[in-house]
Structure 1
């Protein structure tokens, strides 16, 4: 394994990689429960979705590890699965209802488009086209994004839309009042305190430089959650659990291409493609940065380029198995934070996803507070890249800030990258025409600039 995954060359070892892979799995195992709930509303069989989620995540995460030697895991993307279930399936065009089979066909086609863009190296050109300052901003933005996911999922953070509702009703918000959009969660909830305990446990273990701090923190937090009086975790569910998967319920190759064009799904294909393009780019660049792959820029670009191909195949492959768009997961940063640097990390995660087909009840025991605490800590670690951004140069600083801010505040990685691109092209152009300093604007940045504007005008902010 050391030779195959080049562990010595990458400055790691088998124990560290396996621990990192387990950590990544623990932080994203929630998708096994959440994806069936989200897509179940679209008319697909929920158990079939569970099978598709575990199989797709296992197969393509293993592929990422074995063929790319990259410590990133893949699974159906949150956000795009909600778009699939609540926007595509519920919409009607030209009087025709859109079925799950049509929507899966749309996802499959978007994956084919990705494969073409990757083979022709258009996606890889993004690595050269986007300035280094924006790449570091993507890392920081993703850190804040996954931290706010952890805060929201744990209940430590709650969101109130009442100020916006008051404004929409014609009542201006009283700026002197204590009413805000973001609130501290209900401290009477045991799950909130369990998250705080998890944060402290992981933080203390990391300060003490304990190997596997995040993973051990998740496990300890899970055990605390089972203490009587806390009751966040219950082992009673194991008694009536089903341990043998029923593969006959898998929605394999459930496509309807015949009515694809008559039901207005072209815009859905465009949305799937655009959002996944930037989401994956952001995640791969952010995690590669965190892992130190860009110390050798040429080698880093090559590795991310190969990862993009596996990701492209995964989109179509996931649709074939019966789930919405597959994507690289930002939670992979948790494994990288534990020292994961090779494909052995993602291979371990992939194997655990495949085992979860048989051990689903155990995998689903890990409570949300435990994984939420881990995600918040990972956000702290990814914030370190902010020191690489030159905010004194406003041509870089303003786009970088917009990239960082828009990801968590709009709950969308693609929005952050989009606003960063628009701001950089405009400001760099102005500086080149009227300022003293010249900035490079890659020709692909101009194409992205036009596509981003067109996307928001014609498709909107869906996804």
Structure 2
């Protein structure tokens, strides 16, 4: 095992890697419940989606560990699953409605496009093309992104849609005179909110005391506190009478409809799936690899990211074949990396746990949102450490880095942050090189991305 995963070479051991894998699983196990709930609204059967989610996450996360030796887990992506359910498969009243099977076909095709881009090494070139300052900004932005996920999921942070004065039915906006703010502190009287605060301090205290497995121990302790009478966030009584054996006959394998791929809706969906996943995966892989210290050697780092992108591409198409929306590298993998995960043994452990969750779903889903939310907030703190690597005094780097860092959490979208970072860097670097005193090297791939980003927002909009 040491030779296979290069444990000593990467400064880790079996115990650390397994605990890191369990931690990653704990922080992302919510997808087993959330994905069926979201995709169920598109007309897909919720139980078949649960099976597809667990199988796809287990198989391809295990593949990431065994074939890439990378501590990152894969699962159906949040955001893209909502886009699938509410936008792609929402026009049922039109003359040419897009069915769930057609939507899954669009996801499958986007995976093939990723595979072609990866095999031709275009996706891998992103690691070389993107300046180091922006790479660190991606890490920091993802840190804030997953922290705001934790804050929002727990209820510690609430978002007031009324502050925008938005009428969703008419698509109109009204001026509220600035009387409302967008972000609010949650209701601290709610058990789920204060339990998150308790979990936050528990994990923080354990980390300050340098207790091994602090995040995982904190999650478990928070779960136990949630089961105390009077708190009642966790109910162990729900384990009674549960069906523990999965019914694979209900899995919608290869439920793909390629009959109307030239329709405008599907072409737009394929383009959106491809664009958002391209940047989401790149950002997550680079951010987590940076955090794990796996990109110090640029050549080795490029090879590692390249292999990871191959598995990711296969996961997108494989997930569609199993019956779920776009698979992606999960930012929650940072929780396991924060626990010391450095090798594929971490992701292999997570993958095995996802496969076991097919038989132990009731136990896996007992871990409450406050416990995982607290862990995500702490991981956000750890990923913020990369901010010291960004030279904000050089505004050609500082401004794009700032836009990357802020737009990820505030627009709730990794791709938006990377997109604005790329566009602003190209504009500022070119202006400085042409009219200023300082010359900046801009990789040719950055120019292609510049054009793609502009085209995406002009013709597709900000969907996804």
Q: TM-score, normalised on structure 1?
A: 0.98
Secondary structure of 1:3's counterpart equals: helix
User: What is aligned with 2:141?
Assistant: 141
Offset at 1:46?
0.4
Check whether the contact 1:166–1:173 (CA below 8 A) recurs between aligned residues. Answer: no
User: What is aligned with 2:319?
Assistant: 318
Q: Is structure 2 residue 382 aligned with structure 1 residue 381?
A: yes
Q: Is structure 2 residue 450 aligned with structure 1 residue 433?
A: no
* Residue correspondence of structure 1 range 393-408 to structure 2 within 5 A: 393-408=394-409
User: What is aligned with 2:182?
Assistant: 181
Using a 3 Å threshold, how does the CA distance of structure 1 residues 300 and 260 change in structure 2: closer, same or farther? same
User: What is aligned with 1:368?
Assistant: 369
User: What is aligned with 2:105?
Assistant: 105
Offset at 1:264?
3.2
Q: Is structure 2 residue 5 aligned with structure 1 residue 5?
A: yes
* Residue correspondence of structure 1 range 214-225 to structure 2 within 5 A: 214-225=215-226
Offset at 1:258?
1.2
Q: Is structure 2 residue 232 aligned with structure 1 residue 228?
A: no
Q: Is structure 2 residue 175 aligned with structure 1 residue 171?
A: yes
Q: Is structure 2 residue 277 aligned with structure 1 residue 273?
A: no
User: What is aligned with 1:72?
Assistant: 72
CA deviations over 1:280-320 (Å, ceiling 9, x no partner)? 00000000000001111211111111101100000000000
* Residue correspondence of structure 1 range 251-262 to structure 2 within 5 A: 251-262=252-263
Q: Is structure 2 residue 161 aligned with structure 1 residue 157?
A: no
How many angstroms apart in 2 are the aligned matches of 1:403 and 1:215?
30
Using a 3 Å threshold, how does the CA distance of structure 1 residues 170 and 21 change in structure 2: closer, same or farther? closer
Check whether the contact 2:42–2:89 (CA below 8 A) recurs between aligned residues. Answer: yes
Offset at 1:392?
0.1
Offset at 1:261?
1.9
Offset at 1:449?
0.4
Offset at 1:163?
2.6
How many angstroms apart in 2 are the aligned matches of 1:277 and 1:166?
30
Check whether the contact 1:139–1:287 (CA below 8 A) recurs between aligned residues. Answer: yes
Offset at 1:94?
7.3
User: What is aligned with 2:38?
Assistant: 38
Secondary structure of 2:158's counterpart equals: strand
How many angstroms apart in 2 are the aligned matches of 1:267 and 1:430?
33
Using a 3 Å threshold, how does the CA distance of structure 1 residues 427 and 360 change in structure 2: closer, same or farther? same
Q: How many residues align?
A: 460
Secondary structure of 1:295's counterpart equals: coil
Offset at 1:240?
2.0
User: What is aligned with 2:445?
Assistant: 444
User: What is aligned with 2:294?
Assistant: 293
Check whether the contact 2:20–2:341 (CA below 8 A) recurs between aligned residues. Answer: yes
* Residue correspondence of structure 1 range 47-62 to structure 2 within 5 A: 47-62=47-62
Offset at 1:164?
1.6
How many angstroms apart in 2 are the aligned matches of 1:219 and 1:169?
45
Instruction: Compare 260-269 and 57-66 and name the one that shifted more.
Output: 260-269
Q: TM-score, normalised on structure 2?
A: 0.98
Check whether the contact 2:88–2:265 (CA below 8 A) recurs between aligned residues. Answer: no
Offset at 1:255?
0.7
Secondary structure of 2:71's counterpart equals: coil
Instruction: Compare 85-94 and 52-61 and name the one that shifted more.
Output: 85-94
User: What is aligned with 1:126?
Assistant: 126
Offset at 1:442?
0.6
Secondary structure of 1:75's counterpart equals: strand
How many angstroms apart in 2 are the aligned matches of 1:262 and 1:460?
18
Offset at 1:209?
0.4
Q: Is structure 2 residue 103 aligned with structure 1 residue 84?
A: no
Secondary structure of 1:96's counterpart equals: coil
How many angstroms apart in 2 are the aligned matches of 1:28 and 1:37?
15
Q: Is structure 2 residue 228 aligned with structure 1 residue 244?
A: no
User: What is aligned with 2:24?
Assistant: 24
How many angstroms apart in 1 are the aligned matches of 2:372 and 2:4?
31
Q: Is structure 2 residue 307 aligned with structure 1 residue 309?
A: no
How many angstroms apart in 1 are the aligned matches of 2:92 and 2:39?
18
